[in-house]
Amino acid sequence: MDVFNRSINFDALFKFSHISASTQQHLKKVYASFALCMSLAAAGAYVNVVTQLVQFGLLTGLGALGLMIWLMATPHSRETEQKRLGMLAGFAFLTGVNLGPLLEMCIAINPSIIPTAFMGTAVIFSCFSLSALYAKRRAYLYLGGILFSGLSLMLFFSLINIFMGSTWLFTANLYIGLMVMCGFVLFDTQLIIEKAENGDKDYIWHCVDLFLDFVNIFRELMVILGMNEVSPHPHLPRVSLLELWLRAPPRPPGWNSNIYWGGGCHPSPFPPAKVGEKPKGRGRIQAATAFLRVACQDLLLA
């Protein structure tokens, strides 16, 4: 048998015989809406980071949460489809805006973190989505209880770490969160298929599930890559640049420090943190706020 001259039927890779034709059409709408959400989220992040036009912090977070609840409470029908698509667009845009502070942190540490995290998220999301699509129906639905238990465990660890300030516990929580979000891609994809097979054709809300999975994986990867960035300068302590960022004391309004992390230049009127010293005062409050922010976002948006 000549294995090298055999023709490969690539069309067979995109045939899902165990999924009905109507459900396949539904999935096309879901992923088209997902692509729209990604574009709007990128626009929101650009507006926040580059143009600095939207800098409301808590208000944009509450706005995104409010739009998500409004979208969930509005029933899906032909009459409300355009209205719900508008809610989806606003939610995706504000979600991108809320990523602005984390993106700014990554730019300050190492700008290459952002494309690396995005490519990694795209590969992870694609692989787990295809695994769920090719697997037998309901093969991964049993993961639901395990994944929600993992979310509860993450919230518990994050609340404890507010008082402990343990870098090790924070790092463990990040890796657990990454594994949980990868599992949610499998679970949500198969759950969408099962709902569509049973007559639930709400592609807008199904898109929200996958969009939040992608955003959470992207956020986890950015923080993990930021923690792995260690300062190369001999006069700075051998800790992650993310930890140095959390230790940094608050700057006066309008004061530009021009911090250059890579070269170790720190022209600041505040003394840098010593090796092994934990954040004090408002620095500890900043670290606790960062821990709580990650925990609450994973709990509310998962």
Give per-residue pLDDT as tens, 238-281. 445 555 444 444 444 333 333 333 333 333 333 344 444 444 43
The pLDDT of residue 3: 52
Q: What is the pLDDT of residues 123-176, one digit of tens each?
A: 999 999 999 998 888 888 888 889 999 888 888 888 888 888 777 888 888 899
Task: Let me know: does 185 contact 132? Beta carbons within 8 Å.
Answer: yes
pLDDT digits (tens, 9 = 90+) for 207-221: 999 999 999 999 999
Predicted local confidence at residue 14, as pLDDT: 58
pLDDT tier at 115 (50, 70, 90 boundaries)?
A: very high
Confidence at residue 18, expressed as pLDDT on a 0 to 100 scale:
74
pLDDT at 297 over 60: no
Q: How far apart are CA 186 and CA 158, in angstroms?
A: 25
Arithmetic mean of pLDDT, 40-58: 79
**How many helices and strands in the chain, by DSSP H and E?**
10, 0
Share of the chain above pLDDT 70, in %: 68
**DSSP-assigned states of every residue in 75-106:** PP-TTTHHHHHHHHHHHHHHHHHHTHHHHHHH
Q: Are 24 and 16 in contact (CB under 8 A)?
A: yes
Most confident of the ranges 11-15, 17-21, 56-60: 17-21
Predicted pLDDT of residue 135? 85
**Contact between 73 and 126 (Cβ < 8 Å):** no
What is the mean pLDDT of the segment spanning 23-42?
93
Asked whether residue 64 carries a pLDDT value surpassing 80, the answer given is yes
pLDDT value of position 71: 92
pLDDT over 60 (residue 204): yes
Confidence band, pLDDT 50/70/90 cuts, at residue 82: very high
Q: Domain map of the chain by residue range?
A: 19-231+287-301
Mean pLDDT of 48-72: 80
Q: How many residues does the chain have?
A: 302
Residues 159 and 67: their CA atoms lie apart, in Å, by 26
Predicted confidence at residue 118, as pLDDT, reads: 94
Is it the case that residue 184 has pLDDT exceeding 80? yes
